[in-house]
Each structure stands twice: as structure tokens, then as C-alpha cells.
Amino acid sequence: MSDESGSDVPSEGTLSAVIPLASALDPTSEEMIETPPAVDPDTVKFSVMSIESVLFDLSDSSPLVHLIEEETPYRYIAMPIALPEAVALHNALDKIEGRRPGTHEVMAEILRRLQADIIAARIVRYEHGVFYAELDLMTPRGHEVFDCRTSDALIVAARQTVRAPVLCAESVLQAFYA
């Protein structure tokens, strides 16, 4: 959307600040990057999901992760992810280690060494065909929640010694089935 001068103006429901890429990457920049607030797990109903499969159909442009509710009504979500993340998730689910650690393997090891436990990978929003997730951590310093890509949350949760649960907000399931 553009205003009268032709510059981009965020539409309703999007972040209120549009930051040029250069300033977003500059740690000395005075501009703030706004992120959506974390979802309050005490007020949102979540369903526990299982990662059913990671499939690549040659007729589709990207692999799909299939998540299914662990309790009735057993709704499922088919979520497209990039090929490298699909391979990483497949390897995490099958406990396959690479010859050299990949990004998600390094992240899982960092969390282990810092004694940070993933409480859950939460899928919190579904807007315009995009899923949004959070990693919910308990660290020696306290509770932390990190906004992240859904594929990254699923992979890192699957890479834990004890696989962290995947939770999906009821509003996401309703929006997906709308």
C-alpha cells in the first residue's frame, strides 16, 4: 500500500514501522525494529501437534510438513517449507547427525550447553498463508520466548534430547480451515 507521496505505508494489521534493510542490520542505528508481542500462553488455547511427515512431491514447488492434532478432532496442517529445512527436519526426526553440524544442530547444542530447555515450539499465528512461531525456553536466568520461523522451531524442538512438544494455537487451526 502507498500513501499520496508514493512511499510505502504499512497496511492495517502489519508492523507499524518499515525499516530499510541497511538500518535493520546496523547495530548502531537509532531506529527500533518492532516485533509483534509474544502470545500469552495462559490466555490462548493450544492443541498438541505431532509431526506426521515431511514430504516432497515433485509436482509441488516445496516440501510439506504435515502436523496432526494428538487428540480429537485430529485436524492436520500441511505447511510448506524450504528444501534445506525439510532435509534438516527429516534428519532431526530420524536422529541423523551430519558429518559437520548444521545450523540447527549447533543451535540445539548451544541450548544444551547453556542449560536452556525448550518448553515448546508454539505456532501462534497464520496470516496470508504464512505461519508464525515462537520458541518457549526455560533458562537458568528464567523464562524466555523467541519469535522464529516455524520450520526452525520445529527442527530445534525435534533436535532436543527429549523432543519438545509442538503446540498450535486454536486460532491458527481455525484460520487454516477457514
Q: Mean pLDDT per segment of 10 residues, for the chain of length 178 residues?
A: 44 36 42 55 90 92 96 95 96 94 95 96 95 97 96 97 96 91
Same domain? 14 vs 84: no
CA 69 remoteness from chain centre = 17
How many domains does the chain contain in total? 2
- Candidates 65, 70, 53; CA nearest to 133 is 65
φ, ψ of residue 143 to 5 degrees: the values are: -80, 135
Say what the pLDDT of residue 14 is: 34
Rounded to whole angstroms, the Cα distance separating 37 from 150 reads: 16
Q: Examine the domain organization and report whether 83 and 152 are in the same domain.
A: yes
Per-residue confidence (pLDDT) for residue 177, from 0 to 100: 87
In a domain, residue 29? The reply is yes
Number of H helices and number of E strands within the chain?
Answer: 5, 7
Within-domain flag for 39: no
Q: Are 119 and 137 in contact (CB under 8 A)?
A: yes
Which domain covers residue 23, as residue numbers?
1-34
77 and 160 share one domain: yes
Whether 74 and 98 share a structural domain? yes
Peptide bond into 73 cis (omega under 30): yes
